[in-house]
Structure 1
Amino acid sequence: MYRWITGRFARQARLMGAMMERLGVTPEAAASRGRLYDAANRRCLWCDAHRSCGKWIEQNRSAEGGPGFCPNARFFADIGRGGAVR
């Protein structure tokens, strides 16, 4: 179990970091959202779309918004616009 969860955590952290990079969201901007960022990390950790996410990241070097399947698309979009995440 330990090996599974640590592997998943590492994979999802890589994907979230790459997604943020593609969307122009800095770690500092995301972290400044406090608990909302914590919730985004949890959503990513338990998201089952890692294959689709990886493909999207490979195909998009930069983008205005995240893919529709991403549970954090709104969070990232609001940070990118400098708006308040609700």
Structure 2
Amino acid sequence: MRSGQRNWSQSERVWRQFEFMDLVMEQIEVNPLVAARKCGGTAMAGARNVCLGCAFQHECRDWLERGGDLAGLAEFCSNAGFFMECKRSGQSA
């Protein structure tokens, strides 16, 4: 069935994008509790949606493979500001 195959590909894309976001958050030391609580959770949900619709997955993957930093991420990532606000050393919530 082609439609089932198409849905599976879309599901794989969604999980891959979410995996990238989780890896980016880990790489730059985002505090996951701060991120999850920011604006009652709506900021995290918005960041997930931005990531899901992002056209820079190749740049993101390359950045992750290089062990990039926040400055390099900011060159292509629309969520860089959100991540910066939620770094482990930050106290914003």
> Shorter-chain-normalised TM-score: which range?
0.7 to 0.9
Q: CA deviation at 1:28?
A: 2.1
| Mapped pair 1:69 → 2:85 | no
TM (norm. structure 1) is 0.84
Name the larger-Rg structure.
Answer: 2
- What residue ranges of structure 1 are gaps of 5+ in the alignment? none
Tell me the amino acid that sits aligned with residue 3 of structure 1. W
| Mapped pair 1:36 → 2:35 | no
Aligned equivalents of 1:57, 1:20: Cα separation in 2: 10
Aligned residues: 83
Aligned equivalents of 2:37, 2:61: Cα separation in 1: 26
TM (norm. structure 2) is 0.78
Q: Aligned ranges for residues 38-57 of structure 1 at < 5 Å?
A: 38-57=45-64
- Once superposed, what is the RMSD of the aligned Cα atoms? 1.7
Aligned equivalents of 1:83, 1:26: Cα separation in 2: 10
Between Structure 1 and Structure 2, the one with more helix by share is: 2
- What residue ranges of structure 2 are gaps of 5+ in the alignment? 1-5
Tell me the amino acid that sits aligned with residue 44 of structure 1. C
Q: Residue 17 of structure 2 is aligned with which of 9, 12, 27?
A: 12
